[in-house]
Amino acid sequence: MSSSTSDTRALASSPDSAARAEAERHLVRYAGHADFVGEIITRAAGSFLYTRDGRKILDFTSGQMSAILGHSHPEIVETVRRQIGELDHLYSGMLSPPVIDLAAGLAATLPAPLEKALLLTTGAEANEAAIRMAKLVTGGHEIVSFARSWHGMTQAAAGATYSAGRRGYGPAAPGNFALPVPHAYRPDITTATGELDWRRQLDLGFDLIDAQSTGSLAACLIEPILSSGGIIEPPLGYLTALRDKCRERDMLLIVDEAQTGLCRTGSWYAFEGEGIVPDILVLSKTLGAGLPLAAVLTSAEIEQRAHDRGFLFFTTHVADPLVAAVGNTVLEVLRRDGLDARAAHLGAILREGLEDLGQRHAVVGDIRGRGLLAGLELVLDRKTKQGSDELGALVTRRCLELGLHMNIVQLPGMGGVFRIAPPLTATEDELALGLSILDTAIGDAVASLGVRIGS
């Protein structure tokens, strides 16, 4: 009997089986063709999840790439307990000390002129607000984003999302254009030596955008490191050149740092590596450390222009004091504990461990990322870079069986790419444990696949 068959039978007779039956009966499945994870999670603490039947699972995704301080961080728990007993929710036009403090606190972490904050709930909502602001301020309506982008599932955010979810829902909002992704491992436009020619690629991309534009370009919305697109970091110099393209066309540059912001990459913000400052910055995920909190940050000039034109983004939970208090605690812990430097240190350890796996497993095609946002791409052949959805699924499943939760991106034209994003509070021993489990899982998956792997 195979291990997967025995696991399936064990699950059917476990205490989770009734809960699973209720879930299948009553829950809408929202992750495309993916199913819910088979076990019921009842508790989480630090870097670990705990199932109803007592299994301990190391979380290498920080929940949904959000719990940068780990699960149930004691200071976050205390902040929620205190704040919910004092002031949880207000009429959206009212102000509270946590909201004012968080706006000022975020501005203090950012370069000028980013000093104005709009506090919202999710990344999609924040991207909606940023796009809406850009359209109002510029008078344009056309939005450019990467061809493997993920910015959310609401209307304007979904229109700027190309990695998934575009088919079957009718036409997207008009005026959305895709920009080729500068992917060094899988280059499309190359130099004479076969390396990515990103400058020529960028020029061609904007030539095509200019040809399609009606003269109403409003903004370019990008992730500084594409996450759902497969942990793709643009080459040094790319973001500066992209900003210049925007300036030439009177477009705003919106940088979506949902997953990269607030120390994860080893610096407070991923855009800092280029020395540029976006016109609008979007934060979410990491800002709430697992709670629903997002922010749109911009300059006083852009905010004034938007206000003069009647900018409207009035939501039920805009400027809620409860989650704003959590955001203040997140900033305090990040700053006090030097978690930017810690993420850089742990990221170097993680990178070394992944490179060691690459030395011992021929299916490891590429390792990329920055800090504690790492990508590991699996291939069947390193020369041809042939991917395999089956291999990625096998490794993912085997990791979970061995006590490690991993997330894999599988998009057309690339192999399976693991998105590895442990909490910034993870220990070196926890990283070593995760790498050890991944090592075993890759070996087991390759053996079970039963095909010759190219080197």
- The predicted-structure confidence for 332-341, as pLDDT tens digits, reads as follows 999 999 999 9
- DSSP characters for 30-44? -STTPPPPSSPEEEE
d(CA 278, CA 295): 14
Mean pLDDT of all residues in 308-324 = 98
Extract long-range pairs of 15-20: CB within 8 Å, 24+ residues apart.
15/52, 15/53, 16/40, 16/51, 16/52, 16/53, 19/52
Mean pLDDT of all residues in 275-296 = 97
Mean pLDDT of all residues in 303-315 = 98
Asked if residue 380 lies in contact with residue 388, where contact means CB atoms within 8 angstroms, the answer is yes
Q: Percent of the chain at pLDDT above 90? A: 88
Q: What are phi and psi of 412, to 5 degrees?
A: -55, 140
> Fold for domain 39-72+339-449?
Aspartate Aminotransferase, domain 1 (3.90.1150)
pLDDT-derived band at 455, boundaries 50, 70, 90: low
Q: What are phi and psi of 119, to 5 degrees?
A: -100, 125
Residues near 93 by beta carbon (within 8 Å), at least 6 away in sequence: none
Three-state DSSP class for residue 77: helix
pLDDT-derived band at 413, boundaries 50, 70, 90: low
Question: Whose CA is closest to 286, among 403, 422, 171, 165?
Answer: 422
The pLDDT of residue 412 is 73
The pLDDT of residue 273 is 87
- Does the model's pTM come out above 0.75? yes
Same fold, 39-72+339-449 and 74-336: no
Question: So which residues are the catalytic ones?
Answer: 150, 223, 256, 259, 285, 419
Identify the helix (H) or strand (E) that includes residue 300: helix 300-308
pLDDT-derived band at 8, boundaries 50, 70, 90: very low
Which string of b and e fits 216-248 if b means at least 16 CB within 10 Å?
Answer: ebbbbbbbbbbbbbbbbbbeeebbebbbebbee
Alpha helices in 85-235 (DSSP H): 97-108, 123-138, 155-159, 198-212
pLDDT-derived band at 265, boundaries 50, 70, 90: very high
d(CA 342, CA 347): 8
* The pLDDT of residue 2 is above 80: no
The pLDDT of residue 38 is 83
Mean pLDDT of all residues in 448-453 = 78
Handedness of CA 140, 278, 329, 339 (dihedral sign): positive
What are the boundaries of each domain within the chain?
39-72+339-449, 74-336
Mean pLDDT of all residues in 198-213 = 98
For residue 417, the cross-strand partners are 377, 409
Question: Whose CA is closest to 3, among 391, 397, 435, 389?
Answer: 397
Query: Residue 386 carries which side chain, given as an amino acid letter?
Result: Q
Q: pLDDT tens digits, residue range 363-401?
A: 999 999 999 999 999 999 999 999 988 999 999 999 999
Mean pLDDT of all residues in 283-295 = 98
Q: What are phi and psi of 94, to 5 degrees?
A: -95, 155
Q: pLDDT tens digits, residue range 418-443?
A: 999 999 999 999 999 999 999 999 99
Residues near 79 by beta carbon (within 8 Å), at least 6 away in sequence: 325, 326, 328, 329
* The pLDDT of residue 3 is above 60: no
* The pLDDT of residue 4 is above 80: no
* The pLDDT of residue 180 is above 70: yes
Three-state DSSP class for residue 310: coil
**Other beta carbons within 10 Å of 327:** 28
The pLDDT of residue 15 is 64
Asked if residue 378 lies in contact with residue 364, where contact means CB atoms within 8 angstroms, the answer is yes
* The pLDDT of residue 9 is above 70: no
CATH class in words for 74-336? alpha beta
Q: Percent of the chain at pLDDT above 70? A: 95
For residue 294, the cross-strand partners are 120
Q: pLDDT tens digits, residue range 30-57?
A: 988 888 988 899 999 999 999 998 999 9
Question: Whose CA is closest to 397, among 331, 365, 445, 451?
Answer: 445
Question: Whose CA is closest to 222, among 196, 202, 248?
Answer: 202
Helices 339-360 and 428-449: angle between axes, nearest 10 degrees? 30
The pLDDT of residue 12 is 46
* The pLDDT of residue 13 is above 90: no
Three-state DSSP class for residue 115: strand
* The pLDDT of residue 233 is above 90: yes
Q: What are phi and psi of 281, to 5 degrees?
A: -115, 135
* The pLDDT of residue 145 is above 60: yes
What is the overall mean pLDDT for the chain?
94
Which regions of 56-105 does DSSP assign to beta strands (E)? Answer: 56-59
d(CA 142, CA 455): 44
> The tokens of 172 are what?
């997207």
The pLDDT of residue 10 is 45
Question: Whose CA is closest to 40, among 60, 25, 23, 27?
Answer: 23
The pLDDT of residue 14 is 59
d(CA 411, CA 375): 14
The pLDDT of residue 43 is 97
* The pLDDT of residue 154 is above 70: yes
